[in-house]
Structures are given as C-alpha cells and as structure tokens.
Chain A
Amino acid sequence: MSDRIEKTIELNAPVSRVWRALTDHDEFGTWFRVRLDGPFVPGQVSRGQITYPGYEHLRWEAVVQKMEPERLFSFTWHPYAIDPTQDYSGEPSTLVEFTLESTATGTLLRVVEAGFDKLPSNRRLEAFRMNDGGWSQQIQNIARHVEQAA
C-alpha cells in the first residue's frame, strides 16, 4: 500500500515553458484555478482564493518547499481543507512535488502527492494479503488504486 498519488504527463512544450507555468504564481493560478496573493517563495506560505467554479469560497494555503529551477517545485498543504470554518492546522498535510525532465518532444512532468497517511510498509501489506476478509480486500483496493494512479 502506497501513500501517494502519482501522475506522469508528456507536455509538448520546453522545460523552461513548463517551469514558468508551474512557478509563476499568475500562470499557476490560471490552470490550477486559484488567485494567488503573491509569488511563490521557498519556505513561505502561499495564500489565495480558489477560482474553481462553485468553490470560490475556499482559501488556498500552501507552504512552498523547494524551487530548483526547471527541475523541481514542491509545496505542502492540507488536502482535506475544504471547509472554511474548520481549523486544519493539526491535521496531516501532504507533499506535492512537480518534477520536470526534458525529452525529445518537450517535457515529461511527474506529479507526486504523498503523505495521505503514514502508510504501512510492504511487509505489513503482506500481512493483509494473507487474510481473506472484506477489510483486507478494501486495503488491496486502495493499493491497486494508488498503484494504477501513475
């Protein structure tokens, strides 16, 4: 069982273009659908307002982790934070990492969101597989899901 969602996408645009789309806060906001208060700065909180239709009441808040030019952009956030009246600061945050790689036709972009739970080691997963109960089936469903999510 993995604690991550992983996506890979081929983009027909040079790495420099993709990097700008990810790390320029206005460009990021365009495709991600958030209006950010200011530029991304490593170690600093990024705030803004979601612009996704129907969710405009939600705030965006993330902590920028790494910005390694044209290679890695990462931030942490609270993926459960959809209720503006709740305090989520004590709840687990996930780490989102964008990794860029130059290819013959453009850019290979990998997105990993990890930390939904501090999930069990593979060894522990084996223990679940040895059981036939419905619950272990559920665990395996989750494992299959996150493995297929790549």
Chain B
Amino acid sequence: MLNKQHSPSDALKTRASVFAALGDETRLSVLAKLCDGQRQSISRLTSGTNLSRQAVTKHLRVLANAGVVRSVRIGRESLFELEPRPIEEVRNYLDQVSKQWDDALARLKSHVEG
C-alpha cells in the first residue's frame, strides 16, 4: 500500500520486524507474561511453560531486536520488560493503511458512478 507517512527506512524495518515478532505464538506467550508491566527474569519467564531456557532466550532476542522488549541489567541478572511504543506505531500504520483504502475506494466509487 502506498504509505503517506514519511518514515525513514529504519522505521519501516522496525515495523516489519514488529509484525514478524508478533507472528509467533510462542513469542506472544512470552510477551503475555510481560503484560503486567513488571520486569521479569528469564527463569521466571520460563517457569510454568514447557519451553527451555534457551528457547525463551532466543525468543526474547527476537522481541528485543523488534524493540518490543527491553533488557535491564540489575546486578548480575538481566531482567526483561515491555516497550509498548513500537506496538503503538504499528497500530498507527494500520490506521493509515485503512485510511488509504477509504480514500482509494471513494475514488473508485466516483470513477464507476460518474
């Protein structure tokens, strides 16, 4: 879709990676655990799941690369927390795509009815 937002290519990459990061149920289950806004350790994120610590670590890395999770080092431990802004950006993007379709269909309407 023709995107009317003047985004630098970095923002585009981010958006695509957010979509990709969200497109995996395991990663979403990891994210779900971070939804309460609390920082959590890998151990805590792994407990109660049938995922290995390595798997959780791998998924956290994808989420961190997409910018939706941030790691914070507290003493010797790394804790993970949510970063909601990229999600908001994606939502704005969908708003734009939606608006563009409204505009295009309005033009189609005058085209066929004219």
Contact = CB atoms under 8 A, between A and B. Distances in A.
Interface string B33-60: 0111100000000000000000000000
Interface string B1-39: 111100101001001101110111100110110111100
Contacts of B36: 131-133
Contact of B113 (A13, A82, A92): A13
B74 interface: no
Interface string B87-98: 110110011011
Chain B interface size range:
35 or more
A117 B28 CA distance: 12
Chain A interface size band reads 35 or more
A146 B31 CA distance: 21
A58 B94 contact: no
B94 to A, nearest CB: 6
B73 interface: no
Contacts of A142: 87, 90-91, 94
Interface string A80-113: 1011011000011010000000000000010101
Contacts of B15: 80
The 3 lowest CB-CB distance pairs between A and B, nearest first, are: A131-B35, A118-B23, A133-B35
